[in-house]
Amino acid sequence: MSPAALDTVLGKLARQHDPNVLVGFDHADDAGVYKIAPDQALVQTVDFFTPIVDDPYTFGQIAATNSLSDVYAMGGRPLTALALVCFPEKGDLEVLERILAGGLSKMIEAGCTIIGGHSIRDDETKFGYSVTGLINPKRVLKNGGAQPGDRLLLTKALGTGVISTAIKKGVAKQAWIDAAVVSMTTLNKAAGEVIATGSVGTDALARQADQDSAKNRQPGVPHPSRQRLGANSDKQSAPTRRRSRVCTRRLHPCRSQSQ
């Protein structure tokens, strides 16, 4: 659904007023933030989508990484997650198992515990998570406030959205696909933690990015599954908000740059 269409609908609804809501849907930010104590707030997000790659395990990893990124983008630490599953009634359950296993691997890497979820029958496979984390209410990184002359710091390369579209149209080169998959399965955990401290060293972030990418490209590790999900279907869509953090010199506020 386009942002304009959604704004039209939301604009007709009554607005709730709660002083503890630090970031709500009216800000169009990466996640919502709700203050529960003077020095603590919840950061909450939900994201799910159709397959962007053919391999179910990799699709699960991408979905989990994408959902977790919303919490990191706000400067938070993910704690728990609920899985959202849409799967055909007569679909291959082994495929579903591999999707869930891929997502679980990234949640374990992030230190985020899956505590439940919800599933429905659907002709088209969709998968993602609702993630809840903690954040200091005084250190929330919002998506507005950048000023001319501010330095921009990207924790990942831009372009995965464009490559995702190319994959669906069958025109993406294999090298592009490989690079995009590495990016989309690399957590923003390290970069998020560094940025949240309020002191960023570009060398430190670069080293961490190299380490994360190398870890995701371990040689000799067999691919966990060979089932195909049909990612080239015209009906399937890419993740709507794969993002890198784009931060100002002062590190606050920050904004997200869609990929």
Higher-pLDDT residue of 183, 32:
183
CATH architecture of 18-141+152-201: 2-Layer Sandwich (3.30)
Return the percent helix, strand and coil in the chain, to nearest 5. Answer: 35, 25, 40
User: What does the alpha-carbon distance between residue 65 and residue 242 come to, in Å, rounded to a whole number?
Assistant: 9
User: What pLDDT was estimated at residue 219?
Assistant: 43
For residue 128, give the 3-state DSSP assignment.
Answer: strand
pLDDT of 213 strictly over 70: no
Average pLDDT of the residues in 48-74: 92
The model's pLDDT over 151-187, given as tens digits with 9 standing for 90+, comes to: 877 888 888 889 988 988 889 999 999 999 999 999 9
Determine contact, residues 237/49, Cβ cutoff 8 Å: yes
Report which listed range, 86-100, 144-158, 216-230, is most confident.
Answer: 86-100
For residue 137, whether the previous peptide bond is cis, meaning omega lies within 30 degrees of 0, is no
Higher-pLDDT residue of 52, 46:
46
User: What does the alpha-carbon distance between residue 239 and residue 52 come to, in Å, rounded to a whole number?
Assistant: 8
Report domain extents, the chain: 18-141+152-201
User: What pLDDT was estimated at residue 220?
Assistant: 40
Higher-pLDDT residue of 83, 31:
83
User: What does the alpha-carbon distance between residue 107 and residue 31 come to, in Å, rounded to a whole number?
Assistant: 18
User: What pLDDT was estimated at residue 52?
Assistant: 85
Beta bridge partners of residue 237, listed in sequence order: none
User: What does the alpha-carbon distance between residue 227 and residue 99 come to, in Å, rounded to a whole number?
Assistant: 10
User: What does the alpha-carbon distance between residue 210 and residue 215 come to, in Å, rounded to a whole number?
Assistant: 9
Q: How confident is the model at residue 212 (pLDDT cuts 50, 70, 90)?
A: low
Task: Please give the model's pTM, rounded to 2 decimal places.
Answer: 0.74
User: What does the alpha-carbon distance between residue 124 and residue 122 come to, in Å, rounded to a whole number?
Assistant: 5
**Counting beta carbons within 10 angstroms of the beta carbon of residue 111, is it exposed (0 to 12), middle (13 to 18) or buried (19 or more)?**
exposed
The model's pLDDT over 123-162, given as tens digits with 9 standing for 90+, comes to: 999 999 999 999 999 888 888 778 898 887 788 888 888 9
Determine contact, residues 45/71, Cβ cutoff 8 Å: yes
Average pLDDT of the residues in 56-65: 96
Residue of 258, 133, 130, 113 lying closest to 196 (CA atoms)? 133
- For 249, other C-beta atoms within 10 Å of its C-beta total 12
Higher-pLDDT residue of 135, 15:
135
